Amino acid sequence: MAEQFQSAIESSMDKTNLILKDIEQAYGWPKEQRNQSYAALRTVLHLLRDRMPVQESVEFSAQLPVVVRGIYFDGWQPQNVPIKLNRDDFLYEVRQGFPYDVAGGPQRVVQVVLDTLRRHITQGEWEDVKATMPTDLARIMP
């Protein structure tokens, strides 16, 4: 049983590192900037999560690696969702939660993280997530 647990955690860490590496590669960041890729992932995940209805949020999270799922649910208050955010509000909140100045600003951060997440989520689930977003926000989703 302990071996299964260790294997599951190692697999989740590998998948989490792959997601972070995908973000880093999109920006050309070295691994030493892992704190930036983590901050980008965490910020966008939390805003996406808080914008979705509870049931859809839970269904989406089921496809995330266990470690990323922990990041996703950290601080979640399901009684307060969905929070109404249009595209501009979403980008403003990304800027507030992501303290780094990067090329392309908050919109590029969102695009990179969403592109990365899209590659790790089934098409059907991704379409369900997009369907919960306001039109102006759904348009920037891959």
Span 90-126, pLDDT tens digits: 999 999 999 999 999 999 999 999 999 999 999 999 9
Q: Is the pLDDT of residue 1 over 90?
A: no
96 compared with 7, residue with greater pLDDT? 96
Nearest to 125 by CA among 63, 47, 50, 52: 63
DSSP class of residue 133 equals S
Ramachandran region, residue 135 (left: φ > 0; alpha: ψ -120 to 50; beta: rest): alpha
State both tokens at 78: 């399901």
Determine the average pLDDT of the residues in 44-52. Answer: 97
1-139 classified as CATH 1.10.490.110: yes
The number of beta carbons lying within 10 Å of the beta carbon of residue 65 is 21
Q: What is the pLDDT of residues 51-91, one digit of tens each?
A: 999 999 999 999 999 999 999 999 999 999 999 999 999 99
E strands, 44-132, in order:
none
Domain range summary for the chain, segments of one domain joined by +:
1-139
